[in-house]
Amino acid sequence: MTPRELAQAIPDGALLALPPDYSLPAMAVVRALIVQKKRNLRLLGVPVLGLCADLLIGAGCVAEVESSAVSLGEAGLAPRFSEAAEKGEIVVRDATCPAVHTALQAAEKGVPFMPLRGVLGSDLIENRPDWQVSQNPFSEGEDPILFVPAIAPDIALFHARWADEAGNVWVGRRRELATIAHAAKQTLVTFEESKPGNMLEDELLAPGVISAAYISAAAPAKRGAWPLGMPEVYDIDDAHLALYAGAARTRKGFQRYLDEFICIPEKSSSPASSRA
């Protein structure tokens, strides 16, 4: 399999769960989605979104975003997201981080909803007709609590450090990726390196594994998270993120960025150099 083929498996209109920039996004597949001109994707931030979302939104691939935030971190605001939201070009379903985790955990447990403390008094609730505030059924006195419905994404997409011969992948401490793999109908993964054998047989590796039972397809992608980082393998390319943030401030600059870094013939999953 290749990242391009993983992208081909993602249909227009899919509810696509993506990790934040600090948690192994599958950038090679995101670039392929843009090249393949996907349309009407509905993005779910787990629990926030960054570069992937800004790229996909700027490229016209996205109809809707559910996230607690979309930002480029130290590189600043996500400019394509901001403009699209301000102009009403995408639907934004604002959430708050634990509400996303809780909704995914409900799907992970196979229950229709789960409660969450806090959040009452926030305008987020008014804008989410799908969220309910009800009486805690186990409380004697008045005790309103928020209930969020389960979210089962069509596709979970992320990058992993290793995939083994048995089809398991290793993501280490990034357990939100395990949550989306459990909650989603399909999970597509790129991986940095192959490992022989079965990681589940290694007691030190096993806690960081997502078992093959959850993985629909996996494709190798060296530097597959670039320009984001992979702990202990390569750092975040801060210079490139700053370059993107500057370019993407305007549609023209964003198009130039696409021409230079995205819509290039696929030789490898990362460009040879990052020109500043």
Partner 1 sequence: MGAASPIPASGALLLQQKNPSLRVSLLHRRKGNPFTEGSRELFDLAGQGRIDVFFLGGAQIDGEANLNLVRADGRRFPGSFGSAFMYSVVKKTILFREEHSPRVLVPKVEFISARGDPAALVTGKAWFSWQKDKRRFRLESVHEPGDIRAETGFSFDSADTVPTTPSPSAEDLALLRGPVAKAIAADYPDFAKRVWGIN
Any contact of residue 217 with partner 1 (CB under 8 A)? no
Q: Which of 229, 246, 253, 271 binds partner 1 (CB under 8 A)?
A: 229
Min CB(180)–partner 1 separation in Å: 10
Maximum separation of any 2 CA atoms in the chain, in Å: 64
Stretch that binds partner 1, among 61-69, 137-145, 156-164, 265-273 (CB under 8 A): 61-69
Q: Are 69 and 76 in contact (CB under 8 A)?
A: no
Stretch that binds partner 1, among 56-64, 94-102, 135-143, 253-261 (CB under 8 A): 94-102
Q: Are 156 and 21 in contact (CB under 8 A)?
A: no
Task: State which residue, 92 or 217, has the beta carbon closest to partner 1.
Answer: 92
Q: Which of 107, 150, 155, 177 binds partner 1 (CB under 8 A)?
A: 177
Cis status, amide bond into 3, omega within 30 of 0: no
Give the Å distances, CA to CA, from 225 to 24, 29, 130, 148, 174. Answer: 6, 10, 33, 31, 14
Min CB(65)–partner 1 separation in Å: 9
Phi and psi at 187, nearest 5°, equal: -125, 125
Q: Which of 97, 200, 205, 217 binds partner 1 (CB under 8 A)?
A: 97
In whole angstroms, what is the distance from residue 14 CA to residue 30 CA? 14
In whole angstroms, what is the distance from residue 9 CA to residue 104 CA? 22
**Residues in contact with partner 1 by the rule CB under 8 A:** 20, 22-23, 46-48, 67-71, 73-75, 77-78, 81-82, 85-86, 92, 94-99, 101, 105, 116-124, 173-179, 229, 231, 235-236, 238, 242
